[in-house]
Amino acid sequence: GAVVSQHPSWVICKSGTSVKIECRSLDFQATTMFWYRQFPKQSLMLMATSNEGSKATYEQGVEKDKFLINHASLTLSTLTVTSAHPEDSSFYICSARVPRTGRTDTQYFGPGTRLTVL
């Protein structure tokens, strides 16, 4: 199956600093990537849809100026948490979509990034 990597897997930062998380599709090209956030014991919350070469589409309630998304190539999307605060501490997961061919369609997820803001 398709492989998606995320880096870093765990990051601790001070309040007020910015953190960049990378999401890469390793063996396929992904025109669309998604960024999710998961709180403990809760579902995946879609934050934004990242389209290669265009602006990301943010879900309602997600601050686009705080969570900057860049999808500069077909294999890389980045999420930058700007001016991080302790409430931004969470598990961030990206996924890359393999488009529908022959009635198959799925998203492949990265391993996630644990962000802790002190």
Partner 1 sequence: DQQVKQNSPSLSVQEGRISILNCDYTNSMFDYFLWYKKYPAEGPTFLISISSIKDKNEDGRFTVFLNKSAKHLSLHIVPSQPGDSAVYFCAASARTGNQFYFGTGTSLTVIP
Give the interface with partner 1 as residue ranges (CB under 8 A): 1, 4, 6, 32, 34, 42-44, 46, 49, 91, 93, 95, 97, 100, 103-112, 114
The distance of closest approach from Cβ of residue 105 to partner 1 in the complex, given in angstroms and rounded to an integer, is 5
| 2 Cβ contact partners less than 8 Å away, ≥ 6 residues apart | 25, 26, 27, 28, 96, 98, 108
Give the CA count within 13 Å in the CB-facing half-sphere of 36.
Answer: 17
Select 11 or 82, whichever has its Cβ closest to partner 1: 11
The distance of closest approach from Cβ of residue 46 to partner 1 in the complex, given in angstroms and rounded to an integer, is 7
Select 84 or 96, whichever has its Cβ closest to partner 1: 96
First to last CA, the chain: 37
The distance of closest approach from Cβ of residue 109 to partner 1 in the complex, given in angstroms and rounded to an integer, is 4
Angle among Cα 62, 66, 70 to the nearest 5 degrees reads 90
